Structure 1
Amino acid sequence: MAVSQRALLLEVHEKPPVLTGILLSFQHIFAMFGATILVPLILGMPVSVALFASGLGTLIYRFATKAKVPVYLGSSFAYISAMAVAIEQMGGDIGAAQTGIVLVGLVYVSAAALVKLIGTRWIDTLLPPIVIGPMIMVIGLGLAGSAVTNAGFVAGGDVRHMFVAVATFLITAFVNTKAKGFFKIIPFLIGIVGGYLIALAIGLVDFTPVLQARWFELPGFILPFQTPWFSSYRPYFGPEALAIVPVALVTISEHIGDHTVLGKICDREFMKEPGLNRTLIGDGVATAVSALIGGPANTTYGENTGVIGMTRIASVSVIRNAALFAIGLSFLGKFTALISTIPSPVLGGMAILLYGVIASNGLKVLIEEQVDFGMVRNLIIASSMLVLGLGGATLELPLLTLSGTALSALAGIILNLILPKEV
């Protein structure tokens, strides 16, 4: 018997009361903030621009999908290595990296046009439940290492970090399972605040960035032309830029996987309505626009999908307001700095729960679709996908490198097509 779907508390088109909605939106901001600012920090790009671009990109995505998909876009980790190489090869100039990301956005739009032309029936053929389930599990569990590291559960880890991570996890878990009424729908906000206060009490919070920041300042936009107010970069279409483009094949695979996860949580088929072509256009245009203002590539965020999965609040208005708040906050130097002082174990404790929810939805797909693991064929497909996706397997090709979710998905698709059906 299939497991029943727990009903959403707020459907995609529904709106919460104003005050409730504000808190729900800030919950999404907290969920995405750590990862979104980490990418520009690694690449030496303006954090304020990445935050602004995440909000603007989410609004672009909302428009492209006719406000039918509760997705938040944040900074993509997939392009870090390729962008870092391009920046280094250009002597610190980000022109090549940004040009490459704009081209990635155009690849997404081209893929959307292809989907519009040939339809989406191929999705059911290439991605049956036996492929989708393990793919979703790999997406969630593939992020597990990051969550565990941030939580401090590593060799030689600080006991204080572990304590804060566990406290954050337990506060969030107990609020989600035991709280009543309003508090039950903001477990992550309560968990982060509780974990932050505990971290503050034991000396893990550094307020130096807050003291140094200004109250109001313009994001450090880096535009592809010179103005009296902003610095500029010169678009560059050389090999350093073009080397970034093949990574789009990997992130398009992840895009499909992320929307499959969200679809299962919301009990909808987003790749058919509003359609994969629209979600690809939204993601691609958002990425290109982010690059044009000096930000990193955008991508759908598993952290925010996890929030939806736990709270059962799928309202696109909540996501829209989170995007607007993110844009506003990118101009408030001290507030942005305050959010950045949230210690990594607080984010790690929350991430353990969020990423686990994503992985569990993959298991849920297999159960609900009654996938028969008595069939050797299914065992082979699932086991190979899990091992390749979680074992650090990498396949280096002339134009791109496949690993993680993309390699796992490719293996599952091929095996599903070539292995004979059992009777």
Structure 2
Amino acid sequence: MSKHAVLDINEKPTGGQLITLSFQHMFAMFGSTILVPQLVGLSPAIALLTSGIATIIFLLITQFKVPAYLGSSFAFITPILIATGGLDGNGANVNPGNAMIGAMAVGVVYGIVSLVIWKSGYKWLMRLLPPIVVAPVIIVIGLGLSGTAVNMAMNVNGEYNFLHFTAALVTLFSAIIFNVYFKNILSTMPILMGLIIGYIYSAIVGIVDFSAVKEAKWFALPDFLIPGVDYEFNVTSKILLAMVPIVIVTISEHIGHQLVLGKVVNRNYIKDPGLHRSLLGDGLGTFVSAIIGGPPKTTYGENIGVLAITRVFSVYVILGAAVLAIIFSFAGKAMALVQTIPTAVLGGISILLFGIIASSGLRMLVENNIDFGNNRNMVIASVILVVGIGGAALRFSESFSIEGMALAAIVGVILNLVLPGRNKEVKDLN
């Protein structure tokens, strides 16, 4: 029992509290969860629906002991675009089925890793994925997307547009203000607040087309993608090599979130319910999400922030947020409104988000006291950064290649294993 909890893990809120607090958690994750599918040409409605479903799965697998919400993972933006062939002229994904196949494979890998951890412990994983490997790959993820963010913010059909860029800047600075200057619950929702203010500004200056909202129905089914029905289930090396290596980063991110969440709620989640259970919950949530057309999932820092501020740790509130997300995904008018968000607004918020991803990699290096006077560390980080950001590719044939951040992650792991001087001590996670 946490002494400082307003509502502890298994305490039930009143009806009014449940609705209010659950809405709070849903809106905390909303901006990021709908942004990922917007950037890769998938459906925001299905991303919202699957975030709720994946969260419920996670709560069940972790025995309702871990108050974590699962949303769309930013780590898979570039891999999805590589695996699917990118976007067409209308911003839709060329081959979204490939993303689903890749996400299913990611979920399977999570399951395998969780099984190995269950049988042999987690220390082998920490030796395989030390900060000197994971942190530079995280930096690659953020900086590798920087060109995309700036292009979205400044250009329309490949040409500079001042009016659209002002919308991007309004969005960016609004998000910064909420993140830095607000200390209440709004500080945990800078993405959502930036999107709202940027959208309002865009509507005022006339760059929002509301026709889709007028035509939309109040109730509408999300755009499901069912294997064998909406796309041919064909597993290829290109899909696997584009997406599966990114688990090097997302598993490390998962462990970090579990450690931070454990400190917030005064629990040791690495031991109870165990890292194997939380990883399995994350992986199964991603797998089920992919089966019906949703992007890969991850635990969300935004919702951990809400827990830290409100001191409301109840899993019933997280469950309520998941149910609300599922209900909201069927609101046709609301989802159509999301689809009208200008590219400039998405670009403005992406500048901040992708920068934060890269900065979190730098922070990991600092917090773990990585010594760059050590040539081994310098070599590993340098190679990962240049291979990843430079877009290096190892092409064996037209259908078999490893490229970009996936190649960088694999090279980083190999260098860490083969270069002399590897630290064999692994700190206990508590």
| TM-based fold match above 0.5 | yes
Relative to structure 1, is the Cα distance of residues 403 and 119 closer, same or farther in structure 2, using a 3 angstrom cutoff?
farther
d(CA) in 2 for partners of 1:335 and 1:422? 52
- Alpha-carbon distance, 1:328 to partner: 1.0
| Structure 1 segment 99-138 matched on structure 2, within 5 A | 102=104, 105-138=107-140
Once the two structures are overlaid, the 10-residue window that deviates more, 26-35 or 146-155, is 146-155
User: Counterpart in 1 of 2:414?
Assistant: 414
**Is 1:62 the equivalent of 2:63?**
no
Asked if the contact 1:40–1:296 (Cα under 8 Å) also holds between the matched residues in 2, the reply is no
Whether 1:31 and 2:28 are equivalent positions in the alignment is no
* Residues 112, 266 of structure 1: alpha-carbon distance in 2 compared, 3 angstrom cutoff: closer
Instruction: Describe the shift of the 1:355–1:63 C-alpha distance in structure 2 as closer, same or farther (beyond 3 A).
Output: farther
Aligned 1:20-419 pairs, distance under 5 A:
22-37=23-38, 39=40, 41=42, 48-66=45-63, 67-68=65-66, 70-74=68-72, 77=77, 78-79=79-80, 82=83, 102=104, 105-152=107-154, 156-221=159-224, 233=229, 240-241=234-235, 243=237, 244-245=239-240, 249-260=244-255, 262=257, 275-293=274-292, 295-300=293-298, 304-305=300-301, 320-396=319-395, 401-419=401-419
C-alpha displacement of 1:200:
0.7
For 2:170 and 2:96, the matched residues in 1 are separated by: 41
- What is the one-letter code of the residue matched to 2:141? I
Distance 1:419-1:291 versus aligned 2 partners, 3 A rule: closer
Structure 1 unaligned regions, length at least 5: 1-7, 86-91, 225-231
Q: Percent identity at matched positions?
A: 36
Verify the 8 A CA contact 1:72 1:319 in the aligned structure 2: no
How far does residue 198 in structure 1 lie from its aligned partner after superposition?
Answer: 0.7
Rounded to whole Å, the distance in 1 between the matches of 2:280 and 2:116 is: 11
Tell which deviates more after alignment, 312-321 or 192-201: 312-321
Q: Tell me, what secondary structure is at the counterpart of 2:160?
A: coil
How big is the shift at 1:199? 0.7
Q: 1:80 Cα deviation (Å)? A: 5.3
Could you say what secondary structure the match of 2:159 adopts? coil
**Inter-partner Cα distance in structure 1 for 2:244 and 2:277:** 17
Contact in 2 for aligned 1:70/1:316 (Cα 8 Å): no
Query: TM-score with structure 2 length normalisation?
Result: 0.75
1:365 Cα deviation after fit: 2.0
Q: Are the counterparts in 1 of residues 103 and 296 from structure 2 also a CA contact under 8 Å?
A: no
- Cα root mean square deviation, aligned: 4.1
Partner Cα separation in structure 2 for residue 360 and residue 259 of structure 1: 17
Counterpart CA distance in 1 for 2:204 and 2:243 is 44
Q: What is the one-letter code of the residue matched to 1:60?
A: I
Cα separation, partners in 2 of 1:347 and 1:56, compared to 1, 3 Å: same
Amino acid across the alignment from 1:29: F
> Is the 2:33–2:48 Cα contact (8 Å) retained in structure 1?
no
Per-residue CA distance 1:281-334 (angstroms, 9 max, x = gap): 2233223323443x1452327xx5478679966968576554333211221111
- Rounded to whole Å, the distance in 1 between the matches of 2:214 and 2:186 is 32
Shift of residue 367, structure 1, vs aligned partner: 1.7
Distance 1:35 1:265, change over 3 A: same
Residues 111 and 370 of structure 1: is their aligned pair in 2 closer, same or farther, counting only changes over 3 Å?
closer
Following the alignment from structure 1 to structure 2, what is the Cα–Cα distance between the partners of residues 108 and 306? 22
SS of alignment partner, residue 394 of structure 2: strand
Deviations 1:94-147 (A, max 9, x none): 999867765654444234323323321112322223223223322332332332
162-171 vs 321-330, greater mean Cα deviation: 321-330
Contact 1:196 1:343 in 2 (8 A): yes
1:241 partner SS: coil
Q: Which amino acid aligns with 2:130?
A: P
Relative distance call for 1:113 and 1:36 in structure 2 (3 A) is same
**AA partner of residue 327 (structure 2):** G
> Aligned partners of 1:382 and 1:394: how far apart in 2?
18
CA contact (8 A) 1:253 1:406 kept: no
1:47 deviation in Å?
5.7
Query: Under a length normalisation based on structure 1, what TM-score does the superposition of the two structures give?
Result: 0.76
Q: Is the 8 A contact 2:259 2:270 kept in 1?
A: no
CA drift of 1:384 comes to 1.1
Paired AA for residue 164 in structure 1: A
Figure out how many residues of one structure are paired with residues of the other and give that number: 394
Amino acid at match of 1:56: I
Q: Shift of the alpha carbon at 1:81? A: 5.1
- Which has the higher mean CA deviation after the structures are superposed, 149-158 or 407-416? 149-158
Deviation at 1:207, TM superposition (A): 0.7
State the Cα distance separating 1:369 from its structure 2 match: 2.1
Distance 1:141 1:338, change over 3 A: same
Q: Would you say the 8 A contact 1:68–1:316 is kept in 2? A: no
Alignment gaps of 5+ in structure 2: 87-93, 424-430
Deviation, structure 1 residue 340: 1.7
240-249 vs 182-191, greater mean Cα deviation? 240-249
Q: Is the 8 A contact 1:142 1:390 kept in 2?
A: yes
Q: What CA deviation, in whole Å up to 9, does each residue of 1:141-168 have, x standing for no partner?
A: 2332332232226973211121111111
